[in-house]
Amino acid sequence: MERILNKKTAFITGGGQGIGRGIALKLAEAGANIVIAQRNQETAKSVIDEIQLMGREATAIYIDVTDKESVEKCIAKSLKAFPEIQIIINNAGSLQKNIGDFTSESDFDLCYNVNLKGIWNVAVQFSEHLAKHRQGKIINISSTGGRGPDPLFPAYCASKSAAINLTQSLAIKFASHNVNVNAICPGIIWTPMWEKIEQFLCDENRLTSNNNGAIFNSYTKQIPLGRPQTSEDIGNAAVFLASKYSCNITGQSIDIDGGELLASSTRP
């Protein structure tokens, strides 16, 4: 991969596994140094090792994106280690614990605190830094689930939809500082989050949980390009949005879904 992010530094929440891991590795391949900010420091270790083998600098710092004080401390430590962080990836996310439950207040609190307030907390704490340097890229990871309703995931979908709207507001707010703010909406990707969905659907349909992702595979058959997405796909999009080639793109939310949403809109 061309090193279009050479000498840049990226701050990624939840970068130790799943989509975040794919983003971290792709940004590192493109030349960026990486700060992985997340609660579980153990899962970040293998990613840090891989990045360092590429010859990049990388570190992991604890953060709870729902807690303002934790975010402040994490960003202060990050900027001490890398004073010129230019790329901010808000990837940390949470699925509701009670899939299919519309009545769970705790699920709405969880999804909104992580998926929406987490983005806001990070953006607020980085705002002075970005304004000072008059450059930067903020990339928020939303979801195609934020494009419409789903009775199985009402709290999750609502929070991801709100994240798209917040991205647009932040894009306008940060434009005067020469900062681009965009969102990526991943489609169907086999991650620890999808494993939970698979387990729930197996239980609902009285299927064994070791069905080798049969339900996931049935969803992928609805994708026009005929294949699921990968964390590397999301990473490639993040590299583009973090690079100079996206300098005139802001306030956008890009679906990485193989055309699935497009096809669903044409079905009777």
- DSSP letter for each residue of 130-152: HHHHT-EEEEEE--GGGGS--TT
Helix residue ranges, H only, the chain: 18-29, 42-53, 68-81, 105-112, 118-133, 154-175, 192-204, 214-220, 231-242, 260-266
* 3-class DSSP assignment, residue 119: helix
Instruction: Provide the annotated active-site residues.
Output: 156
pLDDT digits (tens, 9 = 90+) for 256-266: 999 999 888 77
The whole-number pLDDT of residue 209 equals 57
Taken in order of first residue, the domains within the chain and their CATH numbers are 9-189+231-266 (3.40.50.720)
Q: For residues 252 and 146, what is the distance between their CA atoms, to the nearest angstrom?
A: 14
Q: For residues 223 and 263, what is the distance between their CA atoms, to the nearest angstrom?
A: 7
Measured in degrees and rounded to the nearest 5, phi and psi for residue 265 equal: -75, -15
Q: How much is the mean pLDDT over the chain?
A: 93
Q: Are 16 and 38 in contact (CB under 8 A)?
A: yes
pLDDT digits (tens, 9 = 90+) for 142-179: 999 999 988 888 999 999 999 999 999 999 999 999 99
Give, as one character, the DSSP assignment of residue 117.
I
Q: Which residue has the higher pLDDT, 164 or 192?
A: 164
